[in-house]
Amino acid sequence: MQNENRSENFSRRHLITFDDWTLEEIESVLELAGELKRIRYAGELVETLKQKTLFMIFFEQSTRTRNSMEAAMTQLGGHAHDLTADKMQISHGESPMDTAKVLSRMGEGIAIRNCFYDIGNKYLNEIAKFSDIPVISMQDDIYHPLQAIADLMTIREKFGRNLDGLKVVISWAYATTHAKPLSVPQSQILLFPRYGMDVVVAHPEEFPLQQNIIEKARSNASKHGGKISFVNSMEDALEDADVIIPKNWGGFAYFDEFDDSREMHEQMKANLEMHRDWILDAKKFSLAKRDCRIMHALPADRNHEITDALLDSENSIIYDEAENRLHTAKSILSLLMK
Ligand code: CP
């Protein structure tokens, strides 16, 4: 496996968002992920991170991110500490600087999930500022780079490398489980137009994405030949779609000036209940292309965001997408921590 030269470019690099990574760097991630996937299927061993340690700090729950990252470290010959903020001195107020400097003396990488609105991304950047080892976002309130790169890998596997004009609909959908961060759709709208895709975002007025991210996504689209547009109806977005991603997100960006988070969540819940009809079902799906692929970062709120029948249909590629979290995680960890 020839990743010696690739890794040189990544020394002392953090991954908080792919928006500050070049297309060349992202290509290295995708190429190595493909190679590592083939190697795993062939049953061969790659121990590029032997004796290396990754500290994973979770402020929230996770199934895919936690397990793809820990399995990645094990399969690469290293070890991941599965930490939660409440088990660390973070819970007693230890500063990001002290946390970053201490962990930098003991291992080779720090990965963090902190999705608290208006807190998570700032916390990750504080850690990155003081860390001597790579800091990797496992999702914050603004970005989820590990999800977006796995999604891009999956789309390329299904549609090939030339994605010019591929119509990808990212649609808000009703859910009852919890107020999900904006980070998955925001990372997707930043990344996909850089690959020439025609991205249509559908959402009720009360559930916009952050304005600065929308502006950056528009700029990425015009620079790289992709397209991005926004509509307030799922049906209007779906005509001739090649890919549909039905996904709930909270109305945080609508309340940027809100002081009281309890009031914000109550208002968000009231807004949510007005849009119970935002479910991807057979009638709406019939507007898309016949072989349209359904993606979802998971966990899905089944029969609220999307019907079981569609999520379990032949059009659905959700488990390929989830599996690619492992291969892309291995690639990123190999490049950054080697
Ligand atoms: N898609 C995703 O990040 O899943 P988890 O929340 O289970 O990690």
For 276-323, the pLDDT digits (tens) are 999 999 999 999 999 999 999 999 999 999 999 999 999 999 999 999
We report the CATH number of the domain holding residue 291 as: 3.40.50.1370
pLDDT confidence tier of residue 179, bands split at 50, 70 and 90: confident
- Note whether 233 and 305 are same-domain residues: yes
| Distance from residue 310's CA to the centre of ligand 1 (Å) | 20
- Note whether 77 and 219 are same-domain residues: no
- Note whether 306 and 333 are same-domain residues: no
| Distance from residue 4's CA to the centre of ligand 1 (Å) | 30
Q: Which domain holds residue 133?
A: 4-144+322-337
Q: What is the pLDDT of residues 11-38, one digit of tens each?
A: 879 999 999 999 999 999 999 999 999 9
Which atom of ligand 1 is nearest the CA belonging to 139? 3
Mean pLDDT to the nearest integer, 118-129:
97
Looking at the structure of the chain, the number of domains it has is 2
Binding pocket residue ranges, ligand 1, CB within 6 Å: 62-65, 139, 147, 297-299
- Note whether 109 and 13 are same-domain residues: yes
- Note whether 180 and 132 are same-domain residues: no
d(CA 128, CA 112): 10
| Distance from residue 81's CA to the centre of ligand 1 (Å) | 18
**Alpha helices (runs of H) in 47-115, residue ranges in sequence order:** 64-75, 96-104
With a pLDDT cut of 70, the percent of the chain lying above it is: 97
- Note whether 183 and 99 are same-domain residues: no
3-class SS of residue 230: strand
What local confidence, expressed as pLDDT, does residue 2 receive? 47
- Note whether 171 and 267 are same-domain residues: yes
Question: In the predicted model, is pLDDT for residue 130 greater than 90?
Answer: yes
Tell me which H or E stretch contains 297. Answer: none
| Distance from residue 218's CA to the centre of ligand 1 (Å) | 26
Which atom of ligand 1 is nearest the CA belonging to 63? 7
